[in-house]
Amino acid sequence: MKCNNRELKIIKGDLLKAVTDAIVNPANTKLYMGGGVAGLIKRYGGESIEREAIEKGPINIGEAIATGSGMLKCKYIIHAPTVVNPGDRSSKEYVRKAVNAALKLANSMRLESIAFPSMGTGVGGLEYAESAEVMIDEILRFISSLNEKDSIREVHIYLISDHPYNEFKNTARNLISKYNCTENND
């Protein structure tokens, strides 16, 4: 979908193969990368990502840091906590703050593209519909507020299977008019 000359793409595929400037890790505040998306980023990108993140932490919910991406295709990993401790449950408020922090950091770094997984689901315990509602609303609110000096041009959300993909697509369709966006036929 197009919004304020920016694009939000909802993609069924593997986040770790995203061809974007950065991908987002729904982290814990300590920045340990054990399970879920964080564990996969560390497994395929390398342990140097976790070491660099821990050196920059801990951070609070609503903050984000960037590290190198190790062996992954993207340039950076943006770590934005959706839980305080590993294994904790997330909340819609935490997801909203994490998405906002990741977008702000990407924009301040002059990045043009950023890719998210479903934030707060899986280990965090939120339903896909809850994550979709908060993530898409926050992304569209953020990109609608950008001006021409801002760098972000594309925001991607990667979902690995049909159920979450359909939840996010349906939620996006329901929020189009709120932000004067248009749907692409992709």
The CATH number for 26's domain is 3.40.220.10
**Residue at 146 is within a domain:** yes
**Residue at 72 is within a domain:** yes
**Residue at 7 is within a domain:** yes
Q: Which amino acid is at 6?
A: R
What pTM value is reported for the model? 0.96
**Residue at 184 is within a domain:** no
The tens digit of pLDDT for each residue in 159-185 reads: 999 999 999 999 999 998 888 888 875
The domain tally of the chain equals 1
**Residue at 158 is within a domain:** yes
* Average pLDDT rounded to a whole number, residues 11-23: 96
The tens digit of pLDDT for each residue in 38-88 reads: 999 999 999 999 999 999 999 999 999 999 999 999 999 999 999 999 889
**Residue at 166 is within a domain:** yes
Domain membership of residue 159 as a residue range? 2-179
Exposure string for 110-121, b = 16+ CB within 10 A, e = fewer: ebebbbbbbbbb
**Residue at 186 is within a domain:** no
**Residue at 185 is within a domain:** no
